[in-house]
Chain A
């Protein structure tokens, strides 16, 4: 008797939720971007949303909620109802460092999100000005080992993926110590590198593709397991002898925790189709961003892995001294 009731209840819930999934969405969906309009996350979001909304049959409204390097937007996202009508872009590892840094008192953590699908994976890259004497990653490492604390390495921000990548390199090459210079953003980093105020820079492929093609900068190594299609002549860190230095910045779509699996699956399907659309591929290629679709368990695992990795290096960064 009890089993029957339980069974009936289960069937009812399943029926209701799949009915919900079938009628979802019945109104417009809010897509939150945690950065101001015009930035690369925003451009990618707008491109994919404009294709996806035609597939899903309801408008997808991009809402920019910038501030605190994304923390304001993500704080807002985790506070929404997990009904599928409020989703947003998460940037790993930026989202991770936001809650891993105790000073920032974030109200969310790695469990506050429901990962839906990943859009872009932009691998980290080590690069120098074209006029620099350094011709390979080995040159940089040797120089930093010979005179620890003198080679000036630039990041695009404190606890950015670039910052963590520098620490990964120091870990992989004992005796190496860089003089880390934190700049605000890619444009500043480009300027200071070209101007000779820093010796080497760590950033992501998408930010420097144009300048590499223009011959102004030289990419020394891409921090991925395989070569970048935008920089086919640049060796990976694995080929250069540092296989543990793998770092990248990803952009993916997530919702607050507690979303129904059917809704997640439906959104993931729609966005996957949108991301595979040739128009999407073409526009992302133009801005130098590599599309890497990950959904379901694969994306969930990636979320967890990035969390653990970021945790390790953020803790190290807090303890590391400058001199």
Chain B
């Protein structure tokens, strides 16, 4: 059929030596930039845009997309090796991937992340080819009421992250939700908990908080107890073992599904599919209590979901011109400055061009895999540097990362503050993941609720008149009931122990 012809023509164009070189360069630059903690994909992509001004439009876009994917993988590298999330979605990888690294399985973590990302990304691109236009139209049906129900659903899944004490887990979620409400209220413009500081009007900033909780918190823990069990990584153990493969495959397929479908909905953001994949894996696992100690499915699923999401998010961008995240907005800006205006117009006016770009997404995924698998051993060797240098180096990069978001020293202080909090909570073994979930879901949850009410002029029944919303709300109730039933037996057991 015609689409397939276009894809083939696009592949042929993308496979020219010059375009391949651009893709390679983009992957390398992107990974390098992404490895720097805090300098996330959006800043990294923006920084490297000027390099592409001197290239032809197609080459420029190929390079930019490669930079984008490279930067995301770079974020994975720092999450696994240093427990510093390179960008928001890498937080989950910190939880499992870093633990794997500490057991000497860092290579396997990076390897499965690369492989899972490749599979997820490729399937997403192929699915994109087939379903782009019709699914995009459907995804537009997701308005504020649907978003509210989706976020609520995500929140109800928090019981899956609780760990030892359910009360502590929910408490941390509530804490995260509260912290996320700091800032100017989105519907009325009232500053909340800001004490007159404009730096707080947009909230505390997800990246400094998360870099503090995980990155600085980890550095402080390392400073306290430096000589923990750092097993030397055997180069032969770079690839995942047979058991790890089996465990990961299911996670990878599920992650692909989650990432792809959520990527079609404009505005979801990369954190949500990543988190949902993690929670899903934990729920259906036969040994959920082992999560947090370094389970490979906890890396495979979320990383795959993340990349499937990133590729699928190109659908609303290319078909509707709607960017799903700040990074994609930057990419869109770069597209436009290079003369390519996203929209269905693009598909009909210059189909070969569009399919060349889509083909290059695929090629970018391949290059990333080829580039990084051999390098994984190299990255893992970083862990063998004496801890003082890793500590100080990471501190410096975290400072740069936090500062460079808005050229603001305030963000450094936020990061330090949460670093201390993260360190203390870590010592007490309080679960951090539910807090992060609360932090992420808070603003969209409240905003979509109140925007829905703006749309309906205060009428709550808007939530009951829309099919997708009702469906998600029912699902949330189901999840809550199932969790309650699961917990009841253990509560009874505890009571009978007294």
* A-to-B contact residues, CB < 8 Å: 36-40, 42-43, 46, 50, 63-69, 71-72, 75, 101, 103-106, 149-150, 152, 158-159, 179-184, 187-188, 190-192, 194-198, 210-211, 213-216, 283, 286-287, 322-323
**Which residues of B have CB within 8 Å of A38?**
42, 45-46, 49, 326, 329-330, 333
Are B320 and A194 neighbours in the complex by a CB distance under 8 Å?
Answer: yes
Chain A residue with the shortest CB-CB distance to B330? A38
Give min CB distance, A216 to chain B, whole Å. 6
Neighbour of A68 across the interface among B42, B184, B187, B266, CB < 8 A:
B184
User: CA–CA, A182 to B191, complex, Å?
Assistant: 16
User: CA–CA, A32 to B266, complex, Å?
Assistant: 31
Neighbour of B343 across the interface among A75, A197, A213, CB < 8 A:
A213
**Which residues of B have CB within 8 Å of A103?**
189-191
Contacting chain A: which of B88-96, B194-202, B301-309? Answer: B194-202
Interface range on chain B (Cβ under 8 Å from partner): 35 or more
Are B406 and A216 neighbours in the complex by a CB distance under 8 Å?
Answer: no
Are A184 and B144 neighbours in the complex by a CB distance under 8 Å?
Answer: no
Q: Which of A63, A66, A192, A195 has the most CB of B within 10 A?
A: A195
Q: Which of B34-62 contact A (CB under 8 A)?
A: 42-43, 45-47, 49-50
Interface membership of B374, Cβ < 8 A: no
**Lowest 7 A-B CB distances belong to which pairs?**
A214-B343, A68-B201, A38-B330, A214-B345, A197-B143, A37-B46, A195-B140
Are A286 and B454 neighbours in the complex by a CB distance under 8 Å?
Answer: no
Are A68 and B202 neighbours in the complex by a CB distance under 8 Å?
Answer: yes
**Which residues of A have CB within 8 Å of B324?**
187
Contacting chain A: which of B212-220, B334-342, B485-493? Answer: B334-342
Q: Which of A149, A159, A215 has the most CB of B within 10 A?
A: A215
User: CA–CA, A184 to B323, complex, Å?
Assistant: 13
Are B188 and A158 neighbours in the complex by a CB distance under 8 Å?
Answer: yes
Interface membership of B458, Cβ < 8 A: yes
Chain B residue with the shortest CB-CB distance to A209? B341
Are B333 and A71 neighbours in the complex by a CB distance under 8 Å?
Answer: no
**Which residues of B have CB within 8 Å of A286?**
336-337, 339
Q: List 7 additional A-B contacts (Cβ < 8 Å) besides A187-B329, A214-B346.
A: A42-B46, A158-B188, A182-B454, A187-B266, A196-B140, A210-B343, A322-B454
| With A67-B199, A323-B457: A211-B191 Cβ-Cβ less than 8 Å | no
Q: List 5 A-B contacts (CB under 8 A).
A: A184-B186, A197-B143, A210-B345, A216-B321, A287-B333
Neighbour of B336 across the interface among A188, A195, A214, A287, CB < 8 A:
A287
Interface membership of B408, Cβ < 8 A: yes
User: CA–CA, A155 to B166, complex, Å?
Assistant: 41
Are A36 and B345 neighbours in the complex by a CB distance under 8 Å?
Answer: no
Q: Which of A63, A101, A211 has the most CB of B within 10 A?
A: A211
**Which residues of A have CB within 8 Å of B190?**
103
